Structure 1
Amino acid sequence: MKKLILFLTMSLMVLPVRADEGMWFLMFIERLNHRDMQKMGLQLTSEEIYSINNHSLKDAIVQFNGGCTAEIISKDGLVLTNHHCGYDAIAELSTPEANYLKNGFWAANRAGELKPKELSVRFFVRMDDVTKRILGKLTPGMTEAEREKAVQQESALIEKENNEGGKYVVSVRSFFQGNEYYYFVYQDYKDVRLVGTPPESIGKFGGDTDNWEWPRHTGDFSMFRVYANPDGSPAEYSVNNVPLKPKHYLPVSLKGVQENDFAMILGYPGRTNRWMPAGGIEQNVKFAYPAWVESSKLGMDKMKVHMDKSDEVRLHYASQYASVANYWKNRQGMIDALTKHKTAAEKKMAEDKFNKWANMPANKDKYGTVIATLNNFYSKTNEKARHDNYLVGMLRTATFAALPYSLGRGLEAYTNANEAARAQMLPDLQAGIDESYATLYMPIEKDVLAAQLNLYATKAVGYPIAPYVKELGDKNGNNFTAYVNDAFNSSIFGSKEKLAAFLQNPNAEVLKKDELYKLSSDLLTKYRAKSDEQTKLDADYSKAFRLLVEGMREANPTAKYYPDANSTLRLTYGKVRSLPKDKRNDAKVNYYTTMQGEVAKYKPNDEEFDLPKKLIDMYNKKDFGQYADKKGYMPVNFLTDNDITGGNSGSPVLNGKGELIGVAFDGNIEAMAGDVIFDKDLQRTINVDIRYVLWIIDKFSGAKHIVDEMTIVR
């Protein structure tokens, strides 16, 4: 029996300990990672990476606008991130006459830097472990709802204790499915201004065709600056604000990269599910992701018909289209990768071994039903997952699936209020309407909504759809075009002017009977609905998943574990590492790409592969300046084997001295299963070589003053 227990313990699924896998907490670098990192080429102490009392690398890394990463690269608060991370702000600041998205932009001086409406960066101050404190408030007999309430109450106390009277934002987060808890202290800066961006033909070169692909030739970067009060504290936008003097900023290396060079990345990875059970992978591959892909592609196709006809419309919808397109290809890549690598089957084998361990006498009371409970959850929610993804696809691409409900709730309160209250509510309501309708193009909105309603009504058939959609579909044979056109014509939400007229003469009955409001309310009610059966399934699943992770760690106590990504600051380390030779890449070794390969892809006037004439001319003259590789070529992108995911976009790639060598912007489609399982052979991070970034700024754009404020290491 002892031999059997030992065998099962050693063979249970654990997260491997390869040095290039893992998204690690900075506070544990000394204990868990520093020695491995030194062997691979790190020359910094752990204190130089993460310190509470002294400046360190972590002080130069920011979360950019909530969804990306960026880095501070000058003593005057200069921020570097991806072009696709700055895309929203660049599009917002652009007009058909001054189209910075299309043509690029570089501020000639600080006064010329541009302020978007809303853009922020978040600095990480410190973190600490509060696992014992929070788990001490929980008892085995608690329901999941009681447990959640207790965690929230204690978290609120911890957050209040550490925010220093509102100076900091504090967040308590759960890890390892509720087995550990840590709090994070942040400081937010909201005056962030655009410094510069390359033309879209450089920043998005390759478009959807090259997205998630290697070899890659994309200058995916943009630059901003953080402003603050003269004392360095956060401040709302003001002409009196000054560039932030950061605690730390990154020096920039022109030395270039070679295969097997040490490379580490710090950033804010969004979401991984490395502990996901086999049933969850199977559900995603067969039910959830196909619906996501189909709905996203439909929305993109309907938008693009109109975007291709008008520069103004294209500009207004560029950000939404790019966001949908990115995840459309991502989800299809995950379907293909998870299927090809038989990830669900691999996970199931590990779960079968765990189940044997869990049902041994010493473990059965606590862990014996874990796998059965998880499998029951997935079997009963597969069709719901398909339905939910068709519904979410509609909400993501069809503005009027959600907008009437969102605005309508405010209109309801306004209608029922007295005259004095209405006068107070009116400015905010009007501002919300103006902002919501500022860039809408109704032909797109009608086409997308009608098409998505048809897809939802005909494909989400294994689970009850929204009742009003069902009623309408039964009447019109699921052809929603005429209904949508009539609804827009009659609805107060059909235009900003109609809403303005309603505000002058509010009528509860008119709002109640409004077709777009009825439809939107139906969809959002369905989206938020949860039956008693589903509530119990969710609670049982939550507990079983927590026990699965606890049990697997208990069975393998000597392994090194990192928690799933959840938009908290992490470090990943590895090396510059090639993929097998690819005839599409002119580079001698397939870990980098060159401008020669970029120009070879050039297609004049093509939406994805056009290039500025100036770039072609400079390439032909080999006008690379100090930024060329010592072998003479102009580098563009390179590969590392770091472990990243969405949210790491814009993360700095650093050498062993903590110098900036590149900016992470993508992964390779062959390893698209990486959010669920790390592939040590295929997983790659695609990075913009910092030398190409500087060449674009200095030589191509003539913005040498931007480079001059950086600390350049030659």
Structure 2
Amino acid sequence: MSRPLLALLAGASLAAFAGLAATPATAEEGMWTFDNFPIARANATLGTNIDQGWLDRVRLASVRLAGCSAGFVSGEGLVLTNQHCVASCVAALSTPQTSYARTGFLPRTREEELKCPGQVAEVLTAITDVTERMQAAGAGLTGQAFTRARDAEAARIEQEACAGDTTRRCQVISLYRGGQFKLYDFRRYEDVRLAWAPEDRASTFGGDLDNFSFPRFAIDAALLRVYENGAPAQTPNFFRWNAQAPEAGSPVFLTGNPGSTQRLLTQDQLMTLRDVVLPLDQLMDSELRGRLIRFGDESADNAFIAMDPLYGLENTYKRGRGRMAALIDPAFMARRAEAEADFRSRVAADAALAAEVGDPWADLAAVQPIQRELYPAYALLEARAGGGSLLFSYARTLVRAAQEREKPSAERLPEFSDSRLGAARNALLARRPVYPALEQERLEWWLSKTREWLTVDDPRVRALLGRESPEILSARLVEGSTLGDPDVRQALWEGGMEAIRASTDPMIQYALAIQEPTRAIRADWEARIQAPTDRASEALARARFAVYGDSVYPDATFSLRLTYGLIEGSDVPGQRFGPFTTFAGLWDRATGAAPFDVAPRILAARDHIDPTAVVNMTASTDTIGGSSGSPAINAAGEVIGANFDSTVLTQRNAYGYDRNVNRSVLVSTEAITTALREVYEMDHLLRELGVE
């Protein structure tokens, strides 16, 4: 679960203990793009024999979901991912009376598979280098003119490539902090249906206590199916299902879409993360977590409503704790400083290179005081505006889309350019349940935190609140809004600014009224933070390529990557375990009391389950948030599991890979097969997977 506001601070790679990624990557380190994967190094490290054809097949079987990763596992559109990656779909299809989170979603036929609102599935079909065009677009420009010129050029490239083809998505992706730009061409499926999901207690056994830890005993898996023209899509490129027990020490590859890393940030940039960004985010998330827990305790209905958002928030909060621990670790930061000093000395030793790139470290250092000052306002008024309220998000999208569509595509905010307008519309019109009580809780929290952080006397706070309290304003906006009805949203979208101005919906009018202060902070951020950061980072990328060539991988950007490692445990202080857990371990861990209560269906099938069957396993692969659902495949290209977690020590992976402590946590196909056969009796899916 990456955040757009943190992505703006992202860099490209470091490798904390194994060698920092301003330097060439070593061993299993690296979230590699498919057009620069180190085949020879991987084969030498793992003893495998993969080739370009193998890579192409893996790429075409890999799937990107909204915020997660996945992979095809049959020729008829069946997709493997995590249960937590479809939790929002499960919640959207459920009601307090029929909760699939409690019972599992168990369709017996394809006709019973239900569409996941707003979900899309994308397959990367081609990669084209557009670096020259993108860098030329910003040449000689500064401030907001620089960012807007780059955004406009990306929109033109995307529009030229896809030209309104709704079955494709074209996306210009920045790599190496602007050192490269690639056009990714995706095959896009907008009809994605749920084919199987276990109950929440099966996928989250151990709850937050076990999150980011090992041993784990979670069947965090689910199956989706992509449809085309109302029928299951034909997907000839898929991962063959291997239901056998995994072997310790064997090679494993993970193909997925890691969200955001900050490995190429300078030390000065990391200090801003440590001192400003993470503390604010952690304090905000901590209070919201407390509010949602209290909200859920008020009634059974509230507990149902809060379950999915609370799970995601606890995950985010715990990840932040792990990252802060890395940034205050003197040894970790000393290694980072040594790597940066080495990089700078290599650049300084090449007079021509030093003259070409200037001093981007100093340029980035100069940005930090401004960024520290602007971040709270940017986070509260723009990046986190609305506090996660769906109604507010709908209103802001409708208002901004209407305003932006009155401009030429090249002059719009990038999310509303012609090439991206269809995706914005589809997300807006997806039929999701809206719970007024939760909406008010989120809005009230956001308004109160904004007032607290920016202070009562800030004119922007006065613009947000007027003379009302957060409690009264949030109640008024939520109670009077009809934006929960997708037909209302569609009418407003199609009616444009005329319909927006004429609307009496209080949430629409509120979003319209606060455009000036929210757009102003965004413009200020783009001009004073994003533009100079991007320019300096581009210079750093040129220096990095000159010093290290293409042996350095780019930072994670929620674009398709391949990482590899071995199935193995860990033997460092605070993290000692073998590579596997089994159903026998699950029975032993179960106490009958939450969060160690076994799902009733699994408990009922205990006598039919092989106690030695592997449930979860760990691997030395290089992963981060967004890698959830990544298919774990062997050298034969068979799927043997799916990534769903990592350990708490691995959270420093945002800033650097440590081969000793980095461990991805995977659910095995042996466990999924056992569950489908013995627990849920989904025999039709087993036949489709080729399991006898």
Which runs of 5 or more structure 1 residues have no equivalent in the other structure? 1-10, 51-55, 229-234, 414-430
Partner of 1:440: 435
Partner of 1:613: 600
Give the paired residue count: 641
Partner of 1:689: 668
Partner of 2:48: 42
Partner of 1:254: 243
Change (3 A) 1:560 1:199: same
Partner of 1:540: 532
**Structure-2 separation of matches of 1:331 and 1:480:** 27
Matches within 5 A, 1:350-361: 350-356=339-345, 358=347, 361=351
Q: Identify the match of residue 623 of structure 2 among 644, 669, 676.
A: 644
Partner of 2:555: 564
Deviations 1:237-275 (A, max 9, x none): x3xx2x222122211223322222100011122222211
**Structure-2 separation of matches of 1:411 and 1:123:** 30
Partner of 1:597: 585
Query: Contact between 1:643 and 1:683, CA under 8 Å: does it hold in 2?
Result: yes
**Structure-2 separation of matches of 1:22 and 1:435:** 36
Partner of 2:444: 450
> What amino acid does structure 1 have at the position aligned with 2:387?
R
Q: Identify the match of residue 303 of structure 2 among 314, 333, 338.
A: 314
**Structure-2 separation of matches of 1:566 and 1:195:** 29
Change (3 A) 1:245 1:699: same
Change (3 A) 1:383 1:695: same
Q: Identify the match of residue 460 of structure 2 among 466, 475, 490.
A: 466
**Structure-2 separation of matches of 1:285 and 1:183:** 33
Q: Cα distance, 1:139 vs. partner?
A: 8.0
Partner of 1:396: 387
Choose between structure 1 and 2 for higher RCO, CA contacts under 8 A separated by at least 6 residues: 2
Q: Cα distance, 1:160 vs. partner?
A: 5.0
Q: Identify the match of residue 677 of structure 1 among 643, 646, 656.
A: 656
Which runs of 5 or more structure 2 residues have no equivalent in the other structure? 1-18, 405-425, 493-498
- Point out the more displaced range, 210-219 or 153-162: 153-162
SS at match of 2:64: strand
Q: Identify the match of residue 542 of structure 2 among 550, 555, 575.
A: 550
Query: Contact between 2:227 and 2:233, CA under 8 Å: does it hold in 1?
Result: yes
TM-score of the pair, normalised by structure 1: 0.79
Partner of 1:301: 290
Query: Contact between 2:347 and 2:547, CA under 8 Å: does it hold in 1?
Result: no
Query: Contact between 1:95 and 1:312, CA under 8 Å: does it hold in 2?
Result: no
Paired-residue identity, %? 22
TM-score of the pair, normalised by structure 2: 0.82
Partner of 1:658: 637
Matches within 5 A, 1:180-329: 180-228=180-228, 235=229, 238=230, 241=231, 243-329=232-318
SS at match of 2:42: helix
Q: Identify the match of residue 702 of structure 1 among 675, 681, 686.
A: 681
Q: Cα distance, 1:332 vs. partner?
A: 1.9
Q: Cα distance, 1:639 vs. partner?
A: 0.3
> What amino acid does structure 1 have at the position aligned with 2:600?
K
Change (3 A) 1:596 1:408: same
Cα-Cα RMSD:
3.9
> What amino acid does structure 1 have at the position aligned with 2:447?
L
Query: Contact between 1:653 and 1:662, CA under 8 Å: does it hold in 2?
Result: yes
Rg larger for: 1
SS at match of 1:377: helix
**Structure-1 separation of matches of 2:246 and 2:668:** 9
**Structure-1 separation of matches of 2:582 and 2:484:** 50
Query: Contact between 2:64 and 2:70, CA under 8 Å: does it hold in 1?
Result: yes
Query: Contact between 1:41 and 1:656, CA under 8 Å: does it hold in 2?
Result: no
Partner of 2:5: none
Query: Contact between 2:374 and 2:525, CA under 8 Å: does it hold in 1?
Result: no
**Structure-2 separation of matches of 1:411 and 1:539:** 26
Query: Contact between 1:73 and 1:249, CA under 8 Å: does it hold in 2?
Result: yes
Query: Contact between 1:128 and 1:182, CA under 8 Å: does it hold in 2?
Result: yes
> What amino acid does structure 2 have at the position aligned with 1:580?
D
Query: Contact between 1:457 and 1:469, CA under 8 Å: does it hold in 2?
Result: no
